[in-house]
Amino acid sequence: MDKEKTFPPFFGVPVSLKDNVLYKGRVSYVGMIDPINPVQGEETECVLLIKKMGLIPFVRSTTPQANKTFETNNNIFGYCKNPWDEGRSCSGSSGGEGGLIGSHCAPIGIGNDIAGSLRSPADFTGIFTLKPFYRYSNIGLAKAGDFSGGLFLRPENGVYSRSIDDVILWNQFMYDK
């Protein structure tokens, strides 16, 4: 008698990660010419949760310098163009993620938000997201100096997708973990 094998909700789905999500064996630039964080030695909590959901990290997305502008542009990768109109922006600071998901280069992606960095790129590129306001951990984000402005402003990790159902499933899993 074989037991039925259960798979995690996003088993085998590739996921893109914003450049400030620390990932084992990778450097985080956070839009700066010099790396902000050296090669990561261990998996961070964020990536462990992503893998627990069955997702496979496969690409990193660009960010503005130090993640602190509403337009994604830096001296490494240049200007992040909107997939619907290359003369327009994807917004920021998760604009690289918005552009990847909006242009169908990734089915789901991880960004983060303090003052609109999830919501604004979603609006600019026609995809779905939700700022989960302290719903789950933000441990595992590269920091480009302490520009947060205070204790109550911390980046919130969130998911991007072209489907609202994926955003709902993601948040149900994160809430139940």
Question: Would you give per-residue pLDDT tens digits along the chain (177 residues)?
Answer: 567 888 998 999 999 999 988 888 888 888 888 877 777 778 888 899 899 999 999 999 999 988 888 899 999 889 999 999 999 999 999 999 999 999 999 999 999 988 899 999 999 999 999 887 766 667 777 766 544 444 456 788 889 999 999 999 888 887 666
Identity (one letter) of the amino acid at 82?
N
Residue 81 burial (C-beta neighbours within 10 Å; 0-12, 13-18, 19+)? middle
Q: What CA–CA distances, in Å, run from 164 to 11, 37, 40, 108, 122?
A: 18, 33, 32, 11, 12
User: Is the Cβ–Cβ distance between 6 and 41 less than 8 Å?
Assistant: no
Contact present, 108 and 159 (Cβ < 8 Å): yes
Element spanning 112, H or E: strand 108-113
Residues noted as catalytic = 18, 93, 117
